[in-house]
Amino acid sequence: MESNVLTYKDWYSINEAHSNTIIFCAGLESRKDLDEQKEIIKTATGKLIQEFAYDDQYNLLSAVRRNPDYPVILFSAGCQWASKVASLVNDERLVYIIEPYAVNYYGTASKAVRDAVEVKGVPARNVMASYDKSRGHEVVEGHSDTPSGLGHFDALAAAGKKYIKGYAPGSYGGTIDDDSNPRKYKNF
Handedness of CA 122, 44, 135, 62 (dihedral sign): negative
- Candidate from 27-36, 49-58, 156-165 with smallest mean pLDDT: 156-165
Nearest Cα to Cα of residue 53 among 70, 38, 66: 38
pLDDT band at 170 (very low <50, low <70, confident <90, very high): very low
pLDDT confidence of residue 7: 61
Give the pLDDT confidence of 116-157 residue by residue, as tens digits. 999 999 999 999 888 766 676 778 888 888 888 888 888 888
pLDDT confidence of residue 20: 82
Please state, rounded to an integer, the average pLDDT across all residues of the chain: 79
Report d(CA 41, CA 11) in Å as an integer. 19
pLDDT band at 12 (very low <50, low <70, confident <90, very high): low
The three-state DSSP-derived secondary structure of the chain is: CCCCCCCHHHHHHHHHHCCCEEEEECCCCCCCCHHHHHHHHHHHHCCEEEEECCCCHHHHHHHHHHCCCCCEEEEHHHHHHHHHHHHHCCCHHHEEEECCCCCCCCCHHHHHHHHHHHCCCCCHHHEEECCCHHHCCCCCCCCEECCCCCCHHHHHHHHHHHHHCCCCCCCCCCCCCCCCCCCCCCCC
pLDDT confidence of residue 86: 97
pLDDT band at 13 (very low <50, low <70, confident <90, very high): low
Say if residue 167's pLDDT is above 50. Answer: no
pLDDT confidence of residue 132: 67
The residue length of the chain stands at: 188
- Candidate from 36-50, 68-82, 163-177 with smallest mean pLDDT: 163-177
Mean pLDDT, to the nearest integer, of 69-96? 94
Bridging pattern class, strands 48-52 and 95-98:
unpaired
Task: Tell me which of 1.25.40, 3.40.50, 2.60.40, 3.10.20 is the CATH number of domain 8-164.
Answer: 3.40.50
pLDDT confidence of residue 15: 52
- Candidate from 4-13, 47-56, 67-76, 78-87 with smallest mean pLDDT: 4-13
